[in-house]
Structure formats: C-alpha cells, structure tokens
Chains A and B, each alone.
Chain A
Amino acid sequence: MSLRKLRDKYAIVGAGYTSQGRIPDRSALSFYVEACVNAIKDAGLRKEDIDGLICYRQFQPVANDVVVTPYLLAQHLGIQPKILSQESYCARGHFLHAISLIEAGFCNYVLIVYGDNALSGKRSFVKGATNSEPADDNAAFGEFGRAAQFAMAARRAMYEFRTGPETWKEIAVCQRKWANLNPIAMMYDKPMTYEGYFNADWVVEPFRLYDCCLISDGGRACIVTSTERARDLRNPVVTIMGIGEHNTSVDIHQSDFMAGPTGANMAGKMAFDMADITVKDIDACEIYDCFTYTVEITLQDYGFFGPGEGEDWFKDGRTAPGGIMPVNTSGGLLSESYFMGLTPIAEGVMQLMGRCGERQLGAKTGTKEPEIILCSDNGAVFQSHATLILRRS
C-alpha cells in the first residue's frame, strides 16, 4: 500500500506556546487551555473551527488538580468537537490519527495538545519527587521508571556497539548551544561544557544528570488541516510530507532486542517511503530526546549512520549551530522544555515558518536554509514511535 497519495496533502498551521519552565501555582489544565487558545489564535482560526481534539496522555494529577480529560478541556475552550480523544500510556499516533480523520472527511481542523505542571507539582523521577507513578511488582527490586529503563537499553547498546558518554556528551552540549539561542528555553542562560557534562551526578548509571530531559511546567499545541485549507490561513504553509508509525510494544524488561532496532526503523521507512526521499534530503532534525541516547539510537535507526558510528558522526559540532545537520534546534527536551513529541514537532514547524529568531536555521546560524525537517516522537520505552517529515511549501 503506497501512502504517496497523502504526501504534502496535510499541513500543520498553528503552534500554541505557553509560559514555561518553573511556573508555580498553575494547574495542568490551565496549560492545556492556554496552549490550545494560542494555537487557534496562531493559525488564525475561530474556536468553532476545531472539530477534532486529541490530547496526549495525562499523568496522575498533582497538587489537588483535577484529571485533565478531553471533555474538560473542550468545556473550558467552549467547543463541542466531533471527535475527542486522549491517548493512553504514550502510544504516539496523534498526527496519524489527525490526518486519518481529515482524509476520511470526519474533521477539518484537528487540535493536538499536551500540558503539565510536572515541575512545580514534583512529579516522579526528580530528586525529592512526591508524586510517583503507580508502581508494579518491579518496585520490589527498586525499579522506578523511565531513567532506569532507558539506561537499561543504553547499557545493552554499549555492550553491542560503540556508544556511551563520549557520544552522549556531544548530544547534550550541542543541544545546549541551541538552547542558549532560545530565550524561552529553560536552559537559555546556562551554557554547558564537556567538563560540566562529566562532572554532573549519576542519575541511573550509565546516565548522568544531563543525559536526562527536563521536567517542565507549561503546554504546547499544534493544529492539523488540509494543505488546501492551509493556503487560506495566515502562516507560511508547512506540509506533512511523510508520516510513519511503528509500535514494537514489548516491555523493555522482556525485550530481546534491547539495543535496537527501535520502532524508529520501521516508522522511518514508512515516512521516507511516503515522502519519496532519503536521509540525504533532510536539512535538519527535531528528534524526541527524553535521553541523549534516544537521539543517537533514533538517528541510527533512521539510517544517518551505522551502529557504533555515532561517536564520530556527532563530533565537531555536526548537530550544533553552524553544523551541517542541525539537531534539536530549540534545545529539545534536554535543554528547552518537556512537552512530549510536541516540543520537537512544534520546533520543526516554527523553523520552516521562519519564526525562530536568533536560532533560525539559515544565514543567521550559519546553517542551510531548511526546506525539509525530520521530526520524531517516542512513546514509553521504545514501545511506540512516530516519524514526521515536514516541508516548507
């Protein structure tokens, strides 16, 4: 089945940002509402135009919050969309679902959103966390969550091919350089050196502090519609040239392919086939980076380099400002802020719209003027993967 008929047929027409970082005394719901309203405004739409609302998964409420449901969000936005949905446990099908709904004729404008007050609410996996995820039997062995689960995969990778902190330090430092150009990034005014990377504490070895993504208060939203409709709206048109999805599904603790290939391999093939291009055509990447290693294995599985070649590939600032393959130009989840896949995807959209200020790809940062940007989203521990290839029309 060829998906080529869908190439460039759909577009992302608006991005909604909120205040972000450490923003105390705000409910998670308030960030959802703010992100949605700003996305609608940004696209130049009326709220009544939104006929599909898709939320990312929400964690357990903290700080006396209510559970954020799509009903509640629609109520607060004053809309009654045809389709409401909310993904569970991080299966990353949001954009694929949005396209499907529009292609089938059920919807015209689908709003995709995530928000949280994770930092002020002391959500799990930070030192001093007071709001942990529900534990399973693994907790009896002191196994608690994402950092350890991704570190487990990374350790096996270190055994099977050449990778480790020498590779990851480049990823952490290069992304920080991008964040230092981005005034809304949580790490905007905090440069990082290799020494700083290595001097940081271990979290779960082999991951140090700066291998791990940020935890943020805030929200983000994007709106998908047809390219035809996008041409009548106010922003430059950014199309979805290719989209891919793959769900390996298996729990990392039972995976017999812990070092990959991850879902990026199959999802990437699907997206590149639909776009009818190869990695050689990509001008920049916005890669879901819950951990430094996630960036490496994702690009490896997309075919940018072979297993173990990452250490050389990332060297000499290839992915930094001025580099030949910019990666995570907002600072990413590691150095900008954590809003699931909407951090990388919104950045891809903003870069192609030419709205990125000091960090804008092109002459300003000594990089290629971008026409095609590859974005990724990852769910759970390499259990779900989405690939989006975006293009400036």
Chain B
Amino acid sequence: MAYEKPLPKPNADTRPFWEGCQENQLRFQKCRHCDHIRWPPSVICPKCHSSDTDWIVASDKGMIYSYVVYHIAFHPAFENDLPYVTAVVKLAEGPYILTNIVGSDPSKLKCDMPVVVVWDDSSQEFNLPKFKPLNE
C-alpha cells in the first residue's frame, strides 16, 4: 500500500538533519563559540550570532515536555491512526522537537516522562524519529 502521509521537504538548512535520520541519527548544530545546541537549524547561533558550527549526534533519549491526543484527522491519511499522539520531546542535549509518542496507551502518558527514540521507516523514503516511553 502506498504511503500517503505528508513527508518532510528538506531544504538547505534542514537537509543535514534529515540525512542524519537516514542513518538513524539525530543530528543537531552546536555553536563552537557558546556551545548552544540549536533547533531548528540555522546559519547562525541565536544566542551569540556566531556562525562557527559543528554538527553533533544527539543521544536517543529525552522526555515528554508536552503532548496532545488527536481525535480528528485533519489529513485523511491519519484517519486509521486515531487517536494518535503528537508531542514535544525535550532531548537530553537540549533541543525541543515535535514528534509522535508510539507504543503506549495515550491515557498513560505524562509530561516529563522519559522517552527513547524509535525509528519509523515505513515511508521507505524518510526515517522519522518517533519516541516511546523508556520503560516499555
């Protein structure tokens, strides 16, 4: 069955992140001047305006900063997933990223719950970093 959900559209700024995902790695920019790890990607550091940057590979752990449960599909390809969870996960390294929490009953989730990445390669084009509770 064809994959009908929207896919990322990498651009000049975000391409290194999505290329990292193809290797099951979460890659972020780290400022060489002030050590701030930033997301979303940018040509300069929003903290100190330095353009001197490294790409680092983040650990696969974080915590749920906040989450919601979709009960309406605003796109038909998500109808079979209802109810599904989107969340902002705070990674151990600092960045906050929008993702899904999978493999858990939505009613069991809580803010600040530790989570670990699970890679979703079902589109066969992009590996999507999703997360599940650490203890499951």
Contacts and interface: CB of A to CB of B under 8 A. Distances in A.
B6 A140 contact: yes
B90 to A, nearest CB: 8
B interface bracket (residues with beta carbon within 8 Å of A): 35 or more
A141 B74 contact: no
B50 to A, nearest CB: 19
A142 B68 contact: no
B68 A156 contact: no
Interface in A194-227: 201-206
Contacts of A159: 66, 110-112
Interface string B79-116: 00101101010100001111110000010001110000
A198 to B, nearest CB: 14
A280 interface: no
A98 to B, nearest CB: 31
A141 B86 contact: yes
B66 to A, nearest CB: 4
B71 A142 contact: no
Interface in A97-138: 124-125, 127, 129, 132, 135, 137-138
B100 A156 contact: no
Given A152-B88, A203-B72, A254-B96, A141 B65 contact: no
Given A140-B5, A142-B100, A159-B111, A258 B65 contact: yes
Nearest to B97: A253
Given A138-B98, A140-B8, A253-B88, A155 B74 contact: no
B126 interface: yes
Interface stretch (A9-17, A143-151, A263-271): A143-151
A135 to B, nearest CB: 5
A256 interface: yes
B40 interface: yes
B78 A142 contact: yes
Nearest to B112: A159
B41 to A, nearest CB: 11
Contacts of B128: 140-141
Interface residues of A, number: 34
> Could you say which of A125, A127, A201, A253 has the most chain B C-beta atoms within 10 Å of its C-beta?
A253
A132 B74 contact: yes
B39 A148 contact: no
Given A141-B86, A142-B5, A204 B69 contact: yes
B57 interface: no
A137 B74 contact: no
Given A141-B99, A141-B128, A152 B40 contact: no
B66 A156 contact: yes
Contacts of B96: 253-256
Contacts of B81: 142
A139 interface: yes
Contacts of B6: 135, 139-140
Nearest to B78: A142
A144 B66 contact: no
B75 A206 contact: no
Contacts of A151: 68
Interface of A: 124-125, 127, 129, 132, 135, 137-145, 148, 151-153, 155-156, 159, 201-206, 252-256, 258
21 contacts: A124-B74, A139-B75, A140-B5, A142-B75, A142-B81, A142-B86, A142-B100, A144-B75, A145-B74, A152-B66, A155-B66, A201-B71, A202-B72, A204-B71, A204-B72, A205-B106, A206-B68, A253-B96, A253-B98, A256-B90, A258-B88
Please list the 5 inter-chain residue pairs (A to B) with the smallest Cβ-Cβ separation, ordered nearest first.
A144-B74, A205-B69, A159-B111, A202-B71, A156-B66
